[in-house]
């Protein structure tokens, strides 16, 4: 029994280490792109990538998605921190169950994106956005936003089409300690 427990502990450690490394790499990519934009472009300037379709357009977003709720940085930071804590708890629960590998990958994406934008909000009181799909006049966004969007989309698909409802129910069941019962 001790060897099984030790093997499970090693699996948890490896899974957590991989998630932490992935998290830092993803946040690093996000921050590096924002740093490059901030250092090499003038605010509100554009670089066409695909004429009339896609461009790099440097803006500073003081709000949430699409600039809504501008000047509410404290609330965004509090919500992001709570989300990072909650997401980390769900991730650890998935690892402890030795299950939900695809969901764990999606969580790492979402948490990395949340952290990337949180860093901007704490440092600058705005988020650096620069990816602009001009063809559909989509709001300007950044790499962290891509992580969050792709991660959330994957989580929705996984929860609807991949994981059985009973399996997901187990993930969110509260564990009883077994003491005094």
pLDDT level of residue 67 (50, 70, 90 thresholds): low
Percentages of the chain per state (helix, strand, coil), in multiples of 5: 65, 10, 20
pLDDT level of residue 181 (50, 70, 90 thresholds): very low
> Per-domain residue ranges for the chain?
2-171
| Positions marked catalytic | 129, 145
Q: Is 20 strand, coil or helix?
A: helix
User: Within 10 Å of residue 170's Cβ, how many Cβ atoms?
Assistant: 13
Higher pLDDT, 166 or 179: 166
What does the pLDDT average to over 57-66? 81
What's the distance, CA 79 to chain centroid?
13
User: Within 10 Å of residue 110's Cβ, how many Cβ atoms?
Assistant: 23
Tell me what the pLDDT averaged over the chain comes to: 89
* pTM, rounded to two decimals: 0.88
Residue 80 has pLDDT above 50, yes or no: yes
Higher pLDDT, 177 or 41: 41
């Amino acid at each position: 029994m001790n060897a099984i427990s030790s093997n499970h502990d090693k699996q948890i450690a490896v899974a957590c280490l991989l998630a932490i490394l992935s998290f830092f790499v993803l946040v690093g990519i996000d921050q590096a792109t924002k740093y490059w934009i901030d250092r090499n472009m003038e605010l509100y300037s554009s670089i066409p990538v695909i004429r009339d379709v896609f461009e790099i357009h440097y803006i500073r977003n003081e709000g949430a998605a699409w600039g809504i709720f501008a000047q509410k940085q404290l609330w965004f930071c509090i919500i992001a921190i709570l989300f990072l804590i909650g997401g980390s708890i769900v991730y650890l629960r998935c690892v402890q169950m030795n299950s939900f590998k695809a969901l764990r990958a999606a969580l790492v994406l979402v948490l990395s994106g949340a952290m990337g934008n949180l860093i901007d909000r704490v440092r600058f009181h705005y988020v650096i956005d620069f990816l602009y799909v001009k063809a559909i006049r989509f709001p300007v966004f950044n790499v962290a936003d891509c992580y969050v969007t792709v991660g959330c989309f994957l989580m929705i698909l996984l929860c609807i089409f991949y994981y059985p409802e009973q399996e997901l129910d187990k993930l969110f069941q509260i564990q009883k300690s077994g003491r005094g019962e």
